[in-house]
Amino acid sequence: MPRLRLVRGGGTALGALERPAARRPAARATLATIAASAGVSVATVSKVVNGRDDVAAGTRALVEELLRRHDYVPPSTRRPSTAPATVELLIHGAFGAYSTQVIEGLVHAGAEAGASVVVGALDDRLSGTTPQAWARRLAAAGRVGVIVVTGALTQAHIHALALAGVPLVLMDPLNLPRAEVTSVGSTNFAGGMTATQHLIGLGHRDIAYVGGPPTAGCNQARLHGYRAALETAGITARPEYVHGEDFSYDVGRRAGAALLDLPARPTAIVGGSDTIALGIMEAARVRGLRIPDELSVTGFDDTEVATMAAPPLTVIRQPLREMGRVALKTVLRLAAGERLDSHHVELATELVVRSTTAPPPGARFPAP
């Protein structure tokens, strides 16, 4: 019940109803409040927020700590309702055939959704700035979301994006830093298993695997699929037949050379990417081995280089363009505040048989 309070003013006593004060939400921190707490100018705080380098290291550290403590989020950049939403796309590593197909899917999906896509290199975007300044700069630039392809962000970068209110989607991530981080990928385990089963079906028993970084989640899944196929067929996996370093042509060439120089060399090699497979094929060519008569090779991705190879490459196809489309649509849904049914989406892979696989030397027919 409201209670009576005696209000004195002008020598006259008035009876008034006093109601409990409504609880007001905490005011959002502004540049001015941060500047006052730090004892610096608003211009100095603005420089830190925007990642400028003309601020003393001690002052920058103090301001950034206050920004974190107050959970400062830049005001959203106002844009006309007719202006497109803008998504930041960050590519890890070289811009090759893989990233080209991903970008194509993202850009077409963006055009359909009325969104723009800004493309950059992950390392270039993150260098020379703190996670907090990077995330605040994205928010201030009006980015509605961030998509990272085949790369990883630190926990600090992920936390900074969350504080800045910028949704994140990882596409085909090397590692998934937290279970709640949204990702789009493919059925890597099934792909590794299917490629190996294809070679076993042709009669191969001496099958090697050359993949990417040993700690990368997608590589681990493909390697586990390879091993599962061997185990199911009753074939003992050989430790010397497994190599992993990076998804690159040079790795394929070096690992292929090491495998083909073994006293008991493999008759078939599962490549963890198209570029790895091309490197293996080059190592075979240098040694005078004919593909597929003397060595069978498979790739993983089905980029344009797979069809341009000589002979054309048998691969596990990842739906790269569709993965890009799904990633773009997902980040826009997150930006709109929609709830996702699942944080992780995996699109199906499939075997595409071309001309780099055949029965092993001396075998007339595939094993039953």
* Consecutive H or E run containing 326: helix 320-335
Within a domain: residue 9?
Answer: no
Of the three residues 72, 105, 135, the one that is the final residue of a domain is 72
Which 3 state secondary structure label does DSSP give 34? helix
Assess whether 202 and 56 both reside in one domain.
no
Q: Please check whether residues 255 and 205 belong to one and the same domain.
A: yes
Q: What is the CATH number of the domain that holds 249?
A: 3.40.50.2300
Q: Are residues 229 and 287 in the same domain?
A: yes
Q: Is the pLDDT of residue 114 over 70?
A: yes
Question: Would 6 be classed as within a structural domain?
Answer: no
Q: Would you state the pLDDT for residue 54?
A: 82
Hey, what are 288's tokens? 């005078």
SS3 of residue 344 by DSSP: strand
How many domains does one find in the chain?
A: 3
**352 is a domain residue:** no
* 126 and 273 co-located in one domain: no
Is 7 within a domain? no
Each residue of 241-250: pLDDT tens digit?
999 999 999 9
Q: How confident is the model at residue 277 (pLDDT cuts 50, 70, 90)?
A: very high
* 257: in domain: yes
Tens digit of each residue's pLDDT (9 = 90 or more) over 144-201: 999 999 877 888 899 899 888 899 999 988 776 666 789 999 999 999 999 999 999 9
What tokens were used for 318? Answer: 């990842």
159 and 224 assigned to the same domain: no
Q: For the chain, give the percent of residues with pLDDT over 90.
A: 62
Q: Would you give the distance in Å from CA 57 to the centre of its chain?
A: 32
Structural domain of residue 271, as residue ranges? Answer: 188-318
Position 64 scores a pLDDT of: 83
pLDDT tens track for 46-93: 888 776 778 898 898 898 888 878 777 665 444 444 557 999 999 988
Q: What's the mean per-residue pLDDT of the chain?
A: 86
Contact 298, 272 (CB under 8 A): no
CATH code of the domain covering residue 63: 1.10.260.40
The verdict on 123 and 227 lying in the same domain is: no
User: Does residue 271 share a domain with residue 192?
Assistant: yes
CA atoms within 13 A on the CB side of 298: 33
pLDDT over threshold 80, residue 216? yes
User: pLDDT at residue 24 above 70?
Assistant: no
DSSP H helices, 29-96, are: 31-38, 42-49, 57-69
93 and 173, same domain (yes or no):
yes
Same domain flag for 168 and 254? no
The pLDDT value given to residue 267 = 98
